[in-house]
Amino acid sequence: MNIIGKYVKEERRKAGLTQKEFALRAGLGLRFVRDLEQGKETVRLDKVNQALAMFSMQAVPGKIERNEEEV
């Protein structure tokens, strides 16, 4: 699972929301929320930011973290 998907899932659960409730409140489709939380790599960035906005967050450029095995 990717870091953003994991973050959204954790924060959604802390807020006591189901995926369906979160999707409705964020103005997103349920399928998108499921895909995001499951770490799908090809999700739209505008929708990712729409989801993150629910927690006053946004996706920004950052350094890629690599495992020693990948180097």
Instruction: Write out pLDDT tens, residues 13-32.
Output: 999 999 999 999 999 999 99
Domains of the chain and any CATH numbers:
3-58 (1.10.260.40)
Query: Token pair of 68, please?
Result: 């020693």
- Inform me whether the pLDDT recorded for 71 exceeds 60: no
For residues 34 and 67, the model is more confident at 34
How far apart CA 26 and CA 7 sit, in angstroms, is 15
Per the CB < 8 A criterion, the answer to whether 54 and 26 are in contact is: yes
How far apart CA 34 and CA 19 sit, in angstroms, is 7
Phi, psi of 52 (to 5 degrees): -65, -30
- Over residues 54-63, the pLDDT tens digits come to 999 999 998 8
> Which pTM value belongs to this model?
0.83
**CA nearest to 2, candidates 64, 69, 47:** 64
